[in-house]
Chain A
Amino acid sequence: QKEVEQDPGPLSVPEGAIVSLNCTYSNSAFQYFMWYRQYSRKGPELLMYTYSSGNKEDGRFTAQVDKSSKYISLFIRDSQPSDSATYLCAMSLQGAQKLVFGQGTRLTINP
């Protein structure tokens, strides 16, 4: 059983749809929750992060953490074809320097 589970998809939605990407985790000590975006033939790049529980919004993107359920989400509003990528969740402990990644979800936004 992996510490962080993420449905690898693929997920295909029409342009303009609201997209929900999710991860579950087993280690209740995780404090930092991140979403990395990886375009085809590129390395991952940090998209957003949250500390502990709650929501964080950045433009069309919202990151949500529910520590009681050990569940995190990334919502994309008004999705665009340029959002087509693989999205990886990642988590770390307080003071730790290693990240634990989910499997990544491959997302395609169809024009």
Chain B
Amino acid sequence: DADVTQTPRNRITKTGKRIMLECSQTKGHDRMYWYRQDPGLGLQLIYYSFDVKDINKGEISDGYSVSRQAQAKFSLSLESAIPNQTALYFCATSDASGGAINEQFFGPGTRLTVL
């Protein structure tokens, strides 16, 4: 979905390096999310933010941090990357007024490999 963009799309890095993944959206949504996807494990929530001053941990936040720089921007950082953080990372957004279903709109993903 072109309304949610992620950079970079692919990244290879080494153990111990600091990595930042960026997400931008033009949908005007308040809510933003970071997930990781691993084969056989589905989507796991890392962090989520309901507005610029609201940051919440998800189910697998250890080893990650986030920054909500603006309504439209939500960054995910790996302070010291390790090989088991190799995964596909997705950013998603949702509209607070979007009804009970809370449809989430996903970016195209960032494939991260930690050697």
The reply to whether A101 and B42 contact each other, CB–CB distance below 8 Å, is yes
B105: which A residues are within 8 A, CB to CB?
45
Q: Count of chain B residues with Cβ under 8 Å from any Cβ of A? A: 26
Interface centre among B39, B48, B101, B105, by most A CB within 10 Å? B101
Q: Count of chain A residues with Cβ under 8 Å from any Cβ of B? A: 25
Kindly provide the distance from the CB of A93 to the nearest chain B CB, expressed in whole angstroms: 10
B4: which A residues are within 8 A, CB to CB?
43
Kindly provide the distance from the CB of A67 to the nearest chain B CB, expressed in whole angstroms: 17
Kindly provide the distance from the CB of B38 to the nearest chain A CB, expressed in whole angstroms: 9
A95: which B residues are within 8 A, CB to CB?
100
A68: which B residues are within 8 A, CB to CB?
none
The reply to whether B42 and A88 contact each other, CB–CB distance below 8 Å, is yes
The reply to whether A43 and B103 contact each other, CB–CB distance below 8 Å, is no
A88: which B residues are within 8 A, CB to CB?
42-43
The reply to whether B40 and A8 contact each other, CB–CB distance below 8 Å, is yes
